[in-house]
Structure 1
Amino acid sequence: MSYTGPHSEPFGPTDPYGSPQPRRSPLRRTLTVALAALVPGALLGWLVYEALGGSGNGGTGAAGVGAGAPTGAVGSPSDGAPDDKAGTLSATASASSSPGQDTATPLKGRVVVIDPGHNVTNSEHTAEINRKVDIGTNLKECDTTGTSTNSGYSEAKFTLDVAHRLRTLLQEQGATVKLTQDGDRPFGPCVDERARIGNAAHADAVVSIHADGSAEGNRGFHVILPGLVHEGAADTRSIVAPSKELGKLIADDFAHSTGSSPSNYIGDGTGLDTRKDLGGLNLSTVPKVFIECGNMRDTKDAALLTSGAWRQKAAQGISEGIAGFLRQ
């Protein structure tokens, strides 16, 4: 830039080649200053005119500003006004993405073992299932044949059917599900082996499915919880509390899903019963419960137990109880 100071040459600044240039006349300088003052004023006037809708586009003042302003001038980040459309898209994107949450498979990474009580062909292997095994507190039969309805629908068929339905429901939520038997062995397994299967799987929860064989008029379901046992091979001290929580949740959800009432002959109306004589519980090192879904020998309960639609509700109730326990 050039600068004219008190000691400058009389002809003012030089050209690019060093030749002195004559000074401008005072009149020319006056005209230049006047024009410099008039042009911004005229431009400002035109902008005000446009802002007031003078362009003839029929818009209001606000609309005129939006229409006549350069792209990005209104609502741009530089003036602090948010872009409504961009804001809506950002909010939508934020709402649709939830990092760290997997609502489709909430039980992913969890292991559940389902223990379908008895075995359809146990009755063909009486010598094997009558063999005694150690359950910690004493010796007990390897397994039993289970009960049946008066019309011959067996407990073993019932438990396996509910187990299959339950497995599907839990797998849909992402759980890894294992069965202690799937009608794929001639008998059993024995009660001690059933416990070991859950332990070896490091299961987060184990549920043994059964149906009772009590007298006519005895109705309803109940969940069997492990008692406190520390004797021989049995030590339930670490599983009593979590098993009780699992059992309560299953009882509540089973009642809600099936519409069935807690047992009227076991558990004093709570739907819960604690026992120390079951090897499947005594030998478990992971949270485990039994559920007696109803009384097969009662006509009204049998009508429910033999219904596929009701068995689906039973599986749904058990699955909800397990899921609630695992989500804690």
Structure 2
Amino acid sequence: MSYDESPQPARRRFGRRPLTVAVAALVPTGLAGWLVWQGVGGSDGSSASAATAGAAPAASAPASPTGRGDGAPGGGDPAAPLAGKVVVVDPGHNPRNRDHPTEINEKVDIGTATKECDTTGTATAAGYAEAAFTLDVSRRLRTLLVQQGATVTFTQDDDRPYGPCVDERARIGNEAKADAVVSVHADGSAAGNRGFHVILPALVKGGAADTAAIVGPSRALGERIVADFRRETGTDPANYLGDGTGLDVRDDLGGLNLSTVPKVFLECGNMQDSADAALLSDAEWREKAARGLAAGISGFLEK
């Protein structure tokens, strides 16, 4: 992610059943009878806004109508560690932003200023787009969190023509009353800049922005993610910002400024560095990244 640059052209797009059980029984009195028991579970619809999951879905599960957690609820097992918790996962950018330059360049209010609705994101030299990367890691993360009983809502799942805009991404988390929100990205910094970092909300107050209530818990969430992401992936915090802490505080991101619930951004690595790009392009490493994120989120929510 680089919101300090003009949108760049993206390279390419990547984008239960209800179970019916019938039981027939003959009554042993000479009278014939039958009983049909039909258990119908909830189904996932699709729309152009957000995706919700409550039981482990396929990696490309379709979206729910509103993004407010009104799909099948997570935490069917009350003993599951994250039962009753709501996590909003915000896959950065959108594979189809490239096709809608006018819409994504339209300015939106981020509380203290205005900013572009969204950008196309960055890509590796080989053409692996950040928008494809963020969806892959986010879907892996969703599976892991749902297995722990959480209800997981996506801001987008390649199910809308562009966006959502940064203000809507914040609003989805707020309306879901999320216990934690994580926006998944990869950076587009200079070659030689390596490693991951977590972006935390600064103390911001202006217009619709007031982060006073979330600065503390967001930092706690970010610190857990740094520790667990480092352990699971074997990669180090960024060598180009954060003084080796893996933490960066910013006041210019609408997704953070407008959030009323704990929220952080994770830049998983630098797509413009060849060594980082090789990791980000590797499916096995992306699974480790999802595990690190899930561990960090779980540790924060279980405290």
What's 2:16 paired with? none
1:175-190 alignment, distance < 5 Å: 175-190=150-165
Q: Kindly indicate whether residue 81 of structure 2 is the aligned counterpart of residue 106 of structure 1.
A: yes
The 3-state SS of whatever aligns with 2:191 is coil
1:132-171 alignment, distance < 5 Å: 132-171=107-146
1:297-316 alignment, distance < 5 Å: 297-316=272-291
Structure 2: how far apart are the matches of 1:215 and 1:208?
Answer: 22
> Runs ≥4 in structure 1, deviation > 3 angstroms?
none
The 3-state SS of whatever aligns with 2:120 is coil
Give TM-score, length-normalised by structure 2: 0.74
The 3-state SS of whatever aligns with 2:272 is coil
Gaps of 5+ in 2: 1-76
Gaps of 5+ in 1: 1-101
Number of matched pairs: 227
The 3-state SS of whatever aligns with 1:277 is coil
Structure 2: how far apart are the matches of 1:182 and 1:167?
Answer: 11
Structure 1: how far apart are the matches of 2:287 and 2:101?
Answer: 31
What's 1:228 paired with? 203
1:207 to 167, 182, 204: 182
Structure 1: how far apart are the matches of 2:197 and 2:190?
Answer: 15
Aligned residue identity for 1:158: F
Q: Kindly indicate whether residue 240 of structure 2 is the aligned counterpart of residue 260 of structure 1.
A: no
The 3-state SS of whatever aligns with 1:292 is strand
CA offset digits 1:164-208 (Å, max 9, x no partner): 000000000000000000000000000000000000000000000
Structure 2: how far apart are the matches of 1:252 and 1:207?
Answer: 15
Structure 1: how far apart are the matches of 2:279 and 2:78?
Answer: 33
The 3-state SS of whatever aligns with 2:145 is helix
Aligned residue identity for 1:252: A
What's 1:247 paired with? 222
CA offset digits 1:94-143 (Å, max 9, x no partner): xxxxxxxx796110000000000000010100000000000001000000
Q: Kindly indicate whether residue 269 of structure 2 is the aligned counterpart of residue 326 of structure 1.
A: no
The 3-state SS of whatever aligns with 1:268 is helix
Aligned residue identity for 1:285: T
The 3-state SS of whatever aligns with 2:290 is helix
Cα separation, partners in 2 of 1:103 and 1:233, compared to 1, 3 Å? closer
**Contact persistence 1:111–1:201 (CA under 8 A):** yes
Report deviation, 1:266. Answer: 1.1
**Contact persistence 1:104–1:173 (CA under 8 A):** no
Structure 2: how far apart are the matches of 1:104 and 1:165?
Answer: 22
Structure with greater contact order relative to length (CA < 8 Å, sep ≥ 6): 2
The 3-state SS of whatever aligns with 1:248 is helix
CA offset digits 1:73-104 (Å, max 9, x no partner): xxxxxxxxxxxxxxxxxxxxxxxxxxxxx796
Aligned Cα root-mean-square deviation (Å) = 0.9
Aligned residue identity for 1:157: A
